[in-house]
Amino acid sequence: MSIKLTLNENTHFGVPIKIYTSDIDQESIDQLHKMSQLQFIHSHIAVMPDVHLGKGATVGSVVPTKNAIIPAAVGVDIGCGMNALRLNLKASQLPDNLSTLRNAIERKVPVGFSMHKQIRAKASTLTPLDKRLNQITLKHPALKRMLRHFDSTWVKQLGTLGGGNHFIELCIDENQDVWIMLHSGSRGLGNVIGTYFIERAKKEAQHRFGHVPDKDLSYFAEGSNNFNDYVEAVEWAQEYAYENRREMMHLILEAIRPLLPKFQMTKEAINCQHNYVQKEYHFGEEVFVTRKGAIRAGQGEYGIIPGSMGAKSFIVKGKGNNESFCSCSHSAGRKMSRSKAKRQFSQQDLIQQTEGIECRKDKEVIDEIPSAYKDIDEVMANQTDLIEVVHTLKQVMCIKG
């Protein structure tokens, strides 16, 4: 059995918390305890082996709720997820020096706070997004004041990477096949939507009868105007994040085609998201499942679990484990904060730990050093009941924001 710890079992403290690792810090446990006290949690909370402290809700938690949604549990990088694509190329067909490929991709795909100078996405993608977004901002005009150059920014950010732990990688699998893998979300507008509704939930909680153990666990009750508007906005952001990754993958392929032997994409293309909420059926009831740093791993469903920029990553297939609400980890998971990583490690440490990988090795990305993350092999060993490994990938090039 993969479950290593069960908290609150046979107590009145809150619903049970089932944890798929023993590597969990006390702050995360305290955060989970607070969430477990909410009266609308269904059955239990499942906690994945990449668990670590998060803002509002614990990263790596799967939270099923009845008639309510917690915006802070979904977070501000709404719809953040992964996309991986296998090419019919072998590692031997890649150039010895990958810097040319990296530079070509970075010219096509803006990273960090950058965006496209011109609109890149097709009208067939933008028109339905724009129509739905207008419906949202008509009801919540304050959203437009929270993002500079609102109407052009969200459009020009479609097909951009962002910063932090978002990345584009070129990887090699166990058969020496070449993969492109990327990780990104809903960019600036997703952040604005998340922030706006988190604050509305907090204000609403001040006037609601009933105890909330932490203001970051403020929620919207199903049937209220705020609930319906949040669901509409969060679904928009999740769709935008998906389109963002799709546009990025198109730009990456466009960038590398002139520099590689003629290639095609294989049938293996995986998309998964890990910061989102959707309706699902579990333990006899239809509930809202919020995955905060976790991916769905239903029976036969494919997913992606990346390690750090110096470790392995995995293409996996779900086993449909009911106790985890058909979920698994979304990554290796951080074991130290970004500020601590910057204090503890040097640029030389980064250079050593990313040896052999074409990537940035400057001081600005020390917070993404492999040692700031948990051991991906241990994380994978703790979830053998949840997924099976289909492919093991090793990155040879990594682009960070």
Would you list which residues are annotated within the binding site for GMP?
165-169, 274-275, 306-309, 313, 330-333, 400
Asked about 140 being catalytic, the answer comes back as no
- Which one is catalytic: 42, 52, 140, 330? 330
**Cα 330 to Cα 400: distance, rounded to the nearest angstrom:** 18
Give the Cα-Cα-Cα angle 122, 127, 128 (nearest 5 degrees): 120
Q: Which residues are annotated as a binding site for Mn(2+)?
A: 77, 166, 183, 274
**Cα 118 to Cα 157: distance, rounded to the nearest angstrom:** 10
Q: At what angle do helices 99-108 and 225-256 cross, to 10 degrees?
A: 140
Q: Which residues are annotated as a binding site?
A: 77, 165-169, 183, 274-275, 306-309, 313, 330-333, 400
Nearest Cα to Cα of residue 383 among 309, 332, 334: 332
330 vs 230, 280, 401, CA distance in Å?
24, 19, 19
Amino acid at 252: I
Residue 64's contacts (CB-CB under 8 Å, 6 or more residues apart) are 41, 42, 43, 45, 280, 282, 287, 288, 289, 290, 325
Nearest Cα to Cα of residue 398 among 336, 308, 314, 338: 308
Which of the residues are catalytic? 330
